[in-house]
């Protein structure tokens, strides 16, 4: 079984959360999904939406939105696809120059203009967003078109990776402004559902005291998969899975890879397999350190110290508490570090393979 197949089966095995999420989307106007990096939030949201035929999802990924103009363009095209009722025509728009569009595709675009209005229809036809950073002025029109786009199914507007714009210096997309505009336009929409997906330090962008959705809807927390879910996804005995999770703390990719290799070579010890996996992670570790350094001048230093079990403040006594706090927030937003148990435990690196590589130790970790 390949790693990709195991990940797909794992998302289906996590049915308890998917059911809870699907129920929330069906009955609550706004649903938030929070969880540390690499716990499968995006996959679980898509799995829950895929199971409900009465829902029409429109997913906007802020990880890909490098400007307001790009987000508006992404939104317009995502809105157009189900309205065209023809994947072939839509593929012409996204993959062929305008001069090669057949008459049938042009006719569908003309009908789309009647449904969405000229401004949104123009964006659909463009091969790229408008030049420059732009603004969010078209949000009201897009929200209206989104709300009225389906008379038969409930529209679910998903904003994924709310934390992403905060990772870039002076990012032109203001997430707070975006969500206030969405809230303003959606308050009278009975058949619209909003789903917000974020890592813990970005939840306040949507649900903090000064945020658009403060006190609105409900937030569901996603943790790492349980051993029985890994067992169901890989068809491996629960005792073997539990032993592996002691080493990986339930990190999805590392756990699945250790299980795959251990099933192929059952006579090898887990420590030997983990050592083999660690030896292959030099490039990954170098990139993590480089990324951390780009986020804050203390970044790579703090990654190294946390890998060795040291607290960020005690490991950096010569820096101000404010600097250390800012660095840790950026590392947390980026998914390089995490706080198990919702902040009750000490900091640790998200990926155990990086810990193994930096420390040279293959000791079991705490889930």
Whether 26 and 123 have beta carbons less than 8 Å apart is answered as no
What residue spans in the chain does CATH classification 3.40.50.300 cover? 3-222
Q: What is the pLDDT of residue 307?
A: 95
Q: What is the pLDDT of residue 2?
A: 65
Residue 192 has pLDDT above 70, yes or no: yes
Residues 6+ apart with CB under 8 A from 199: 34, 35, 36, 37, 163, 332, 333, 335
What one-character DSSP code corresponds to residue 151?
Answer: S
Token readout for 367 is: 């889930």
Residue 367 has pLDDT above 50, yes or no: no
- Mean pLDDT, all residues of the chain: 92
Q: How do residues 56-75 score in pLDDT, each as one tens digit? A: 999 999 999 999 999 999 99
Tokens 């679980």 correspond to: 44
Residue 239 has pLDDT above 50, yes or no: yes
Residue 152 has pLDDT above 80, yes or no: no
Overall size of the chain counted in residues = 367
CA angle, corner 203, sides to 49 and 69, nearest 5? Answer: 75
Architecture category of domain 3-222 in CATH: 3-Layer(aba) Sandwich (3.40)
Token readout for 239 is: 């005792």
Residue 121 has pLDDT above 70, yes or no: yes
- What's this model's pTM, rounded to 2 decimal places? 0.93
- Please choose, from the candidates 358, 272, 270, the residue with its C-alpha nearest in 3D space to the C-alpha of residue 309: 358
- Please choose, from the candidates 251, 297, 285, 268, the residue with its C-alpha nearest in 3D space to the C-alpha of residue 357: 285
């Amino acid at each position: 079984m390949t790693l990709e197949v195991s990940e797909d089966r794992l998302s289906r095995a996590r049915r308890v959360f998917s059911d809870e999420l699907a129920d929330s989307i069906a009955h609550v106007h706004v649903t938030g999904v929070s969880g540390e990096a690499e716990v499968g939030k995006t996959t679980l949201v898509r799995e829950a939406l895929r199971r409900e035929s009465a829902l029409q999802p429109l997913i906007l990924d802020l990880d890909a939105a490098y400007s307001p103009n790009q987000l508006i363009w992404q939104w317009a095209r995502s809105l157009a696809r189900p309205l065209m009722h023809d994947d072939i025509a839509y593929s012409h728009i996204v993959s062929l120059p305008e001069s090669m569009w057949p008459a049938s595709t042009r006719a569908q675009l003309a009908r789309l203009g009647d449904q969405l209005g000229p401004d949104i229809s123009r964006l659909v036809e463009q091969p790229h967003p408008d030049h420059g950073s732009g603004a969010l002025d078209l949000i009201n029109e897009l929200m209206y078109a989104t709300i009225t786009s389906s008379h038969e199914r409930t529209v679910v507007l998903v904003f994924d990776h709310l934390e992403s714009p905060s990772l870039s210096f002076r990012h032109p997309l203001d997430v707070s402004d975006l969500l206030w505009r969405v809230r303003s336009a959606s308050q009278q929409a009975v058949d619209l559902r909003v789903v917000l997906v974020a890592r813990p330090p970005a939840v306040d962008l949507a649900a903090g005291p000064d945020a658009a959705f403060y006190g609105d809807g409900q937030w569901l927390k996603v943790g790492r998969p349980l051993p029985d879910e890994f067992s169901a996804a890989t068809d491996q005995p629960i005792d073997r899975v539990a032993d592996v999770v002691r080493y990986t703390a339930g990190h999805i990719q590392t756990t699945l890879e250790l299980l795959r290799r251990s099933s192929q070579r059952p006579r090898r010890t887990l420590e030997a397999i983990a050592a083999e996996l660690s030896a292959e992670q030099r490039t990954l570790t170098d990139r993590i350190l480089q990324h951390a350094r780009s986020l804050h001048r203390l970044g790579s230093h703090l990654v190294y110290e946390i890998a060795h079990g040291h607290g960020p403040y005690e490991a950096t006594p010569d820096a101000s508490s404010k600097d250390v706090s800012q660095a840790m927030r950026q590392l947390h937003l980026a998914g390089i570090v995490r706080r198990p148990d919702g902040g009750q435990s000490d900091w640790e690196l998200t990926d155990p393979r990086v810990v193994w590589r930096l420390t040279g130790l293959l000791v079991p970790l705490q889930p």
